[in-house]
Structure 1
Amino acid sequence: MVRPRQFIREEALQKAIEVFWAKGFAGTSTDDLLEAMGIGRQSLYNAFGDKRKLYLEALEAYQQRVTSEHLGRLANPSSPLEGIGALLTGLIAEDERIRNLGCMGVGSVGEFGVTDSELMVLRGRISSVLGAKITERISAGQAQGEIDLMLTPEQASAYVQVMMSGLQIAARSGGGLEELRATARVATERLRAK
């Protein structure tokens, strides 16, 4: 007879996210995961499969959560330009410890690049949803006269997404709160109609 699990799966997954986010895939040992998750080796394998499967599940859960937060900030203000500003400044955590973690998704790009097809598919799904919403807001901002018409919505969306990654890398490398917020404001102003 199989013993019932002695842990809550969602809580254990959140602990795994925190470890992978801080250390990356290669820097995280199975022992790191077991200690953080508070489970035994067999429970990890039974509930999540191996370390790689756990990483993929953790990354997907992380990306779904943060993408939902990104979309909320982007859509909340009635002004499209303010929405883009909220999206960029919202990436920058006030808590220095969290800010210094950067973004788990950007970290996975740094660690794996384009060498892992499963990660590429996962990134592609998230990126296409976020990119489409940013493009929509830029088009709306152009229609309202807020955003420069010299940019195509797709170019401006790509610019915003590169700025998102850049801000996260700068945060991971120790960028300060005010410095990063100022950079986000400058990036947003570059889109403003002249």
Structure 2
Amino acid sequence: MARTRAFNREQALQQAIRVFCDKGFSAASTDELMQAMQLGRQSMYNTFGDKRTLYMHAMRQYIADSVSDLILKLGKGASPLAGLESALLAFVSRVQSEGTAGCMGVNAVCEFGVEDAEINQLRESAAQTLMAAFERALHEAREAGEIDREIDIPAAARYLMSSLGGLKISAKAGAPVQVLQETARFALRSLR
């Protein structure tokens, strides 16, 4: 008779995500992952495969959660510009609430560059989705008179994507939450 799993797969995956956010792929040891996930070696391998396969499961989940969270925040502001601010500050809020300043996406770019086709495809897909969402929000902000009417929407969306990436790198480097908040708000003020 086969043994049933005595752990929650999604909770274990979320713990692996935290480790990969903090350490990246190479620096995260299998022992650290097992400890964080509260799994034995065989349970981890039986459920997720090797470290690389676990990383890819974690990356897919991280991207799905992060992108949907940002898009949700874009639509929940009192105004389009408030939604953009909420989206930029979402990462800062996560740093405060979870105590982790890492980002799997930033870590992946720093570790793998564009050499890993599978990771690159995930990153590109997420970037396209976020770019489209930022462009929609910027169009709405322009129509509401919240930003400069002459603004180049695609360029502004790329600017916000770069600003978000910069916030994530600054957080990883230890920037205080207040500095991250000020930087995010400055990026938005420059659109007016």
Q: Is the TM value for this pair above 0.5?
A: yes
- Counterpart of 2:92 in structure 1 is 92
Give the conservation status (yes or no) of the 8 Å contact 2:81–2:141. yes
| SS at structure 1 position matched to 2:92 | coil
TM-score (norm 1): 0.91
- Counterpart of 2:64 in structure 1 is 64
Give the conservation status (yes or no) of the 8 Å contact 2:18–2:100. no
- Counterpart of 1:79 in structure 2 is 79
Give the conservation status (yes or no) of the 8 Å contact 1:99–1:172. no
Aligned pairs for 1:1-194 (under 5 A) are: 1-93=1-93, 96=96, 98=98, 101-192=101-192
Deviating more after overlay: 18-27 vs 97-106: 97-106
| SS at structure 1 position matched to 2:146 | coil
CA apart distance, 1:56 = 0.8
CA apart distance, 1:151 = 2.7
CA apart distance, 1:141 = 1.7
Equivalent position amino acid for 1:76 in 2 = K
CA apart distance, 1:143 = 2.2
For residues 46-103 of structure 1, give each alpha carbon's deviation from its aligned partner in whole angstroms, at most 9, with x where no partner exists.
1111110100111111121122221121111242222111211222137558455232
TM-score (norm 2): 0.92
Cα distance between partner residues in 2 of 1:66 and 1:93: 13
Change (3 A) 1:102 1:126: same
**Structure 1 residue ranges, 4+ long, deviating more than 3 angstroms after superposition:** 94-100
| SS at structure 2 position matched to 1:126 | helix
User: Where do 5+ consecutive residues of structure 2 fail to align?
Assistant: none
RMSD: 1.8
Give the conservation status (yes or no) of the 8 Å contact 1:100–1:173. no
CA apart distance, 1:150 = 3.1
